[in-house]
Structure 1
Amino acid sequence: MSQLLCKTSVDIVPDPNISGLEPSERLVSIDTHLQAFFPHIKRVFDQQADLQLPSSRLLAELAVLRKRSRDLAARTNCLYQNLFPNLAALEPAGGPTSLPPPQNVFQQKVYGCVVLKTYKEFLSNVSRELRTLKSRVCKQRTPSVNLL
């Protein structure tokens, strides 16, 4: 039953797919998506802080998730600046992110599940994208052997 609830569509949760044709555009998309997920992850943390004991493992894991997400955004920004120094710097995504109105406990659990499931899918896409970028940018060069 819980698996079905996590598959519920919540229109305000960011799409997990990365867009863009060029590597620079795809890095911008990753950064934009991260910025859009931050308020949702914070909201899930805040909601769960009201429902869980302060010593809860879930709260500790959500706190780690928030920190690692910020670290990923900083690293993405650094990677973008190093690979594309002649392009405009990444700017924080503009506009406020829509969050759900006040929710009862059940709705909070469903929202949290959807946010975390979608974010997990997004991170999987980011991992695949960064591997692809690495293979394009950091091509292994074999040393040429001079036989003469």
Structure 2
Amino acid sequence: MPWNVKTLSFLLALSQGLFIQCLAHVNSSTAPCRGCHRNSLDKITAKTRHMEKEAKELFRSYLTHQGLLTSELRRLCDEAIQWFPTENITDQPKMVMLQELYRTLVHMKDALENIKKQQQVLSTPGAALLGRLESTQWAVRGLLSNTFCALCLKGVLPNSRRTPERPAVTNTFQQKIDGCKVLRNYSKFLEKLARGSGKKAPQALRDQRKRRKGTKRKEGSLHS
């Protein structure tokens, strides 16, 4: 039995609606990754090694500017902070490692903002420490962006799982110690990260060479 005009119009409208819904779903799932590059993981490895050196320099600069160079005061800086991973996250599966890295960097970004605000009051304008803090802020934001892209391209939208905010500290000495703890833990975190990435880099290069050899063999068999 032939379909009438109303039936055909209904089916056409239905198919168009389904197509639009499908297109909207695809666009919504890919939109967050716009501007992301496929080599985000390589950027993370390279950036981490550079940031490790800067973190050590920032910590030393902070100790000097805040008068925390004595061994007794420096020991106070070694206290662990709950949002820094206790283990080396590079030992985890790649996706777990990236999510932990993202979560830690979100907290670090907020902590750096607090330290900078404190130092704008405690330090003299133009102090070298303020410049180092600002440089570190930009580096953390860049690494955070690379980590987001690496996760996004794998189809994962990260969740930072923020910790409850602590009451604002008004005691100047305690502010100095809190900042010292953050920067010390940050330096140790990057040291582990760079060391773990360095161990995995040679294996990644070997895997890449194997893939290239396999591709060449396939191309050779096709032409023979």
Fold-level match, TM-score > 0.5? yes
- Post-superposition, which runs of at least 4 consecutive aligned residues in structure 1 deviate over 6 A? none
Separation in structure 2 between the aligned mates of residue 33 and residue 3 of structure 1, nearest angstrom: 23
Pair 1:111-2:178 in alignment: yes
**After the TM superposition, which residues 14-53 of structure 1 pair with which residues of structure 2 at under 5 Å, given as runs?**
14-15=84-85, 17-19=87-89, 21-53=92-124
Separation in structure 2 between the aligned mates of residue 40 and residue 97 of structure 1, nearest angstrom: 13
| Structure possessing the higher radius of gyration over alpha carbons | 2
**1:34 and 1:117, CA in 2 relative to 1: closer, same or farther beyond 3 A?**
same
Separation in structure 2 between the aligned mates of residue 135 and residue 25 of structure 1, nearest angstrom: 21
**1:11 and 1:30, CA in 2 relative to 1: closer, same or farther beyond 3 A?**
closer
TM-score normalised by structure 1 residue count? 0.77
Separation in structure 2 between the aligned mates of residue 60 and residue 44 of structure 1, nearest angstrom: 12
Task: Please state how far the C-alpha of 1:124 moved relative to its aligned partner.
Answer: 1.5
Task: Please state how far the C-alpha of 1:45 moved relative to its aligned partner.
Answer: 1.0
Separation in structure 1 between the aligned mates of residue 125 and residue 157 of structure 2, nearest angstrom: 39
Pair 1:4-2:71 in alignment: no
Task: Please state how far the C-alpha of 1:6 moved relative to its aligned partner.
Answer: 1.5
Deviates more, 1:109-118 or 1:73-82: 73-82
Q: Identify the structure with the greater helix proportion.
A: 2
Residues 81 and 89 in structure 1, CA contact (< 8 A), matched pair in contact too: yes
TM-score normalised by structure 2 residue count? 0.54
Deviates more, 1:73-82 or 1:15-24: 15-24
Task: Please state how far the C-alpha of 1:100 moved relative to its aligned partner.
Answer: 4.7
Pair 1:89-2:157 in alignment: yes
- Counterpart of 1:141 in structure 2 is 209
Identity of aligned residues (%): 22
Q: 1:50-109: CA deviations, max 9, x gaps?
A: 101121110110011111001011112223344xx2x42224x13354235323111111
Pair 1:73-2:144 in alignment: yes
Separation in structure 1 between the aligned mates of residue 120 and residue 86 of structure 2, nearest angstrom: 25
Residues 119 and 130 in structure 2, CA contact (< 8 A), matched pair in contact too: yes
Match of 1:57 among 120, 128, 135: 128
Structure 1 residue ranges without an equivalent (≥5) = none
Residues 44 and 112 in structure 1, CA contact (< 8 A), matched pair in contact too: yes
Separation in structure 1 between the aligned mates of residue 148 and residue 165 of structure 2, nearest angstrom: 24
Deviates more, 1:95-104 or 1:129-138: 129-138
- Answer 1 or 2: higher relative contact order, Cα 8 Å, separation at least 6: 1
Provide the aligned length of Structure 1 versus Structure 2: 142
Pair 1:102-2:173 in alignment: no
Q: Give secondary structure in 2 for the equivalent of 1:141.
A: helix
